[in-house]
């Protein structure tokens, strides 16, 4: 199994060979090659990539929020 690193742009883990250290105003963070390459494209393409990534992040958050209440049902409220 290959090692993975969290991409702060996509907010998912990618294989280490697809990641690059990327300097931000908050320090060095890991970013996937796909997002770095997308940032080099024309403005309309970058905007489309960003909108798609935002939609993916919203969908992931929605799925997580749906699972969270179920996790609390398994707990005894008296504990």
Domain ranges across the chain:
4-73
Residue-level pLDDT at 11 = 84
How far is residue 23 from each of residues 8, 18, 20, 61, 79, measured CA to CA in Å? 12, 16, 10, 26, 45
- Please write the tens of the pLDDT for every residue from 16-75: 999 999 898 999 999 999 988 988 899 999 899 889 989 988 998 898 888 876 655 555
Whole-model pTM over 0.75: no
55 SS3 class? helix
């Amino acid at each position: 199994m290959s090692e993975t690193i969290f991409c702060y742009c996509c907010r998912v883990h990618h294989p280490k060979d697809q990641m690059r250290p990327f300097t931000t105003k908050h320090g060095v963070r890991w970013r996937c090659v796909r997002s770095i390459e997308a940032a080099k494209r024309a403005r309309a393409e970058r905007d489309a990539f960003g909108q798609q990534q935002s939609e993916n992040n919203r969908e992931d958050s929605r799925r997580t929020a749906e699972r969270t209440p179920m996790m609390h049902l398994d707990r005894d409220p008296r504990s």
